[in-house]
């Protein structure tokens, strides 16, 4: 009904424009042929109708686009809900498939990316045991014993495959290199067990890994964080590669255990620094501390460099962990 009303108004306007234009032309130049004046007036009235047609087409297009967007969002919501539900499926291949669906959804629907990251992190926080995971592997670059004390069950191996998929997808979804995505995504891996976890060159906001167990190489080379990286109470059973990392939001190694070497060559920290009272037995390189960085405790024994080495008072607003 509303469209018909606009049509009636446009037709009436076209008639009025035609009559008015014709009358004005005849008043301005009474000698010109009436047929020409009427023709010109008709063209002016026709222009009004044409403008209405253009407006109507544009309105229909916008309505169609809005309807399509709503349908797309509904489909995305349904896919997301279904994929999350399938993460509880007993079959490992189903869980892997569900994770890939979530990753694709995060790529095609940006509003889902942080949610998908949070869901995958939540999966990794689930209790997990594997007979081959040990605290003192014979090779520090490996995550497993060659000869576990008990036989590894097929269920443990399948679950390990699912978890490694989750780790890889988290890494793949985070911005890096020339990726224009500047949203500050956050990862919460509190209490998780991670194997060969890799975040090289990734840019994001906050990394929470309190009481997290890291097995194998933990690769954080050239990582860029704008918010705190919190490793309070974490244990690194293998090597930690933090070379070239930029921890602009601060870092906490409170009660953190390093069972192998920690490489901080070229790494930079700002805002605040909280280290373990006992430094790593094997620290490679020096950690550069930016001016104005606050310290929780005296970092005696840690190899530091930069303008912010002298302990400073930690302001309340940076007490993140």
Q: What is the pTM of this model?
A: 0.75
Q: Please enumerate in sequence order all residues whose Cβ is within 8 A of that of 125, keeping only pairs 6 or more positions apart, or say none.
A: 188, 189, 190, 191, 192
Q: Please enumerate in sequence order all residues whose Cβ is within 8 A of that of 208, keeping only pairs 6 or more positions apart, or say none.
A: 186, 187, 188, 189, 190, 230
pLDDT of residue 226: 96
Among candidate residues 68, 99, 118, the one where a domain is terminated:
68
Q: How many domains does the chain have?
A: 2
Rounded to an integer, what distance in angstroms lies between the CA atom of residue 268 and that of residue 288? 5
Q: Positive or negative CA dihedral for 221, 222, 223, 229?
A: positive
**Same-domain status, 62 and 166:** no
Residue with tokens 């020096």: 286
Among candidate residues 40, 68, 96, the one where a domain is terminated:
68
Where helices occur in 131-242 by DSSP H, the ranges are 154-173
240 is written with which tokens? 């930690």
Long-range contacts of 115-122 (CB under 8 A, 24+ apart): 115/80, 116/80, 116/173, 117/170, 117/173, 117/174, 117/185, 117/186, 117/187, 118/186, 118/188, 119/84, 119/87, 120/166, 120/169, 120/170, 121/170, 121/187, 121/188, 121/189, 121/192
Among candidate residues 19, 40, 68, the one where a domain is terminated:
68
> In which domain, by residue range, is 193 found?
87-318
Q: Please enumerate in sequence order all residues whose Cβ is within 8 A of that of 75, keeping only pairs 6 or more positions apart, or say none.
A: none
**Same-domain status, 94 and 50:** no
Q: Which residues of the chain have pLDDT under 70?
A: 1-53, 55-56, 65-72, 134-149, 310-321
pLDDT of residue 146: 45
CA neighbours closer than 13 Å in the CB half-sphere of residue 90: 1
pLDDT of residue 314: 47
């Amino acid at each position: 009904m509303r469209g018909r009303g606009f049509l009636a108004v446009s037709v009436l306007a076209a008639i009025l424009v035609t009559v008015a234009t014709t009358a004005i032309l005849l008043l301005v130049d009474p000698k010109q042929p009436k047929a020409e004046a009427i023709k010109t007036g008709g063209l002016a009235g026709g222009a009004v109708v044409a403008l209405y047609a253009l407006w109507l087409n544009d309105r229909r297009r916008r309505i169609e686009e809005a309807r399509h967007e709503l349908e797309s969002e509904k489909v995305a919501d349904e896919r997301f809900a279904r994929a999350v539900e399938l993460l509880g499926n007993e079959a490992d291949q189903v869980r892997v498939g569900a994770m890939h669906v979530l990753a694709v959804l995060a790529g095609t629907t940006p509003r889902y990316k942080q949610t998908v990251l949070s869901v995958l992190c939540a999966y990794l926080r689930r209790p997990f045991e594997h007979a081959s995971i040990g605290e003192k592997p014979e090779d520090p670059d490996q995550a497993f014993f060659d000869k576990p004390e008990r036989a590894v069950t097929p269920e443990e191996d399948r679950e390990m495959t699912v978890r490694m998929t989750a780790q890889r997808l988290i890494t793949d979804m985070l911005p890096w290199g020339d990726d224009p995505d500047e949203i500050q995504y956050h990862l919460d891996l509190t209490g998780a067990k991670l194997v060969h976890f890799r975040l090289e060159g990734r840019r994001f906001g906050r990394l929470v890994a309190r009481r997290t167990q890291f097995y194998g190489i933990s690769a954080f080379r050239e990582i860029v964080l704008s918010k705190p990286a919190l490793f309070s109470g974490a244990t690194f059973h293998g090597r930690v590669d933090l070379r070239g990392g930029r921890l602009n939001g601060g870092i906490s190694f409170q009660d953190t255990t390093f069972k192998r070497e920690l490489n901080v060559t070229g790494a930079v920290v700002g805002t605040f620094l909280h280290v373990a009272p006992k430094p790593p037995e094997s620290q490679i390189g020096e950690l550069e501390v930016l001016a104005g960085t606050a310290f929780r405790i005296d970092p005696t024994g840690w190899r530091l460099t930069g303008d912010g080495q002298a302990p400073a008072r930690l302001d309340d607003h940076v007490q993140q962990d």
